[in-house]
Structure 1
Amino acid sequence: MKIWVDADACPVVIKEILFKAAIRTQTPTILVANHSLSIPANPLIQFMQVPGGFDVADNKIMQQLAPEDLVITQDIPLAAEVVAAGALAINPRGELYTTSNIKARLQMRDFMESLRSSGVQTGGPATFNQADRQAFANQLDRILTQRKKGLLPPAAG
């Protein structure tokens, strides 16, 4: 199992949680972004810089993804691709994307995008807070523990 991080928009505090978890569980973690990032000097943690452009990081993750992998992303279309490929995806707030919830998330995303494009002010996401950090850490720990024990099949959800 590897952890892939869509790192361009991933909050720093989530990256720090991921670094600690990668080292603690000995799980290879790869951050993919189109700008340079600072990562700990540890062979388990890698950074892959990609050129700027629409979905370049997403495409790189999908090219490398295996069914037993986990992807951290806020990008709903990427999460949908990950789930369709039989891998796991969670967002930085700890929400697990599954075959049973990803379609609704995509529809909501598209609906909100259509509202914004017609000039409706929809606001942004709620401020990232301590409860979000804790929810992410708990979900990550649950997934890593279940995978380590062989309890979570690759296409969970």
Structure 2
Amino acid sequence: MTVIYIDADACPVKAEAEKVATRHGIRMVLVSNGGIRPSANPLVDSVFVSDGPDEADMWIADNAGAGDVVITGDIPLADRCVQGGAKVLKHNGEELHLRNIGQVLATRDLMQDLRSADPFRQGGGKPFSKADRSRFLDALERVVQAAKRG
């Protein structure tokens, strides 16, 4: 049975994902280091991992598998989940899969190298928008329906 796993510490689309999970009657698991209020929704479980680096990522990668959906902005975690057969979505609705994860991972590594080589090349990307939220909802609906079909 399909489960939605969310790398929840910095996830801006938890509420949207919960709406989709509820509409489809599927379990959703919020994984974090703490500081997130558990949902009253009986379909939503909260898993709190220790404060070590990448503990939430390791928990998700160890538990998500084929037919599951993972929501994360962490590209190495996305790579592990894709390799394990899960469907992966970024917060902006971009789907990561076997055909594109290598390129996305390489781009992430390149940008990390550029930032470390130039201390003045800092700052985040563009702010999260209503259009990103809308794309995410559309993509999650599509991915959940596909996962339910098998």
Same fold (TM over 0.5): yes
Give the Cα–Cα distance (whole angstroms) in 2 for the partners of residues 102 and 143 of structure 1: 17
Q: How does 1:7-156 map to 2 (within 5 A)?
A: 7-11=8-12, 14-119=13-118, 120-148=120-148, 150=149, 153=150
Structure 2-normalised TM-score?
A: 0.94
Give the Cα–Cα distance (whole angstroms) in 2 for the partners of residues 142 and 92 of structure 1: 14
Aligned residues: 148
Structure 1-normalised TM-score?
A: 0.90
CA RMSD, aligned part only? 1.2
Q: For structure 1, which runs of at least 5 residues remain unmatched after alignment? A: none
Identity fraction in percent: 39
Cα displacement string for residues 59-108 of structure 1 (whole angstroms, at most 9, x for unaligned residues)? 10111112110100000000001111111110000000011111111111
Cα displacement string for residues 13-47 of structure 1 (whole angstroms, at most 9, x for unaligned residues)? x1110111111111100000002312331221010
**SS at 1:8 equivalent:** coil
Contact (CA 8 Å) 2:79, 2:101: kept in 1 or not? yes
Q: For structure 2, which runs of at least 5 residues remain unmatched after alignment? A: none
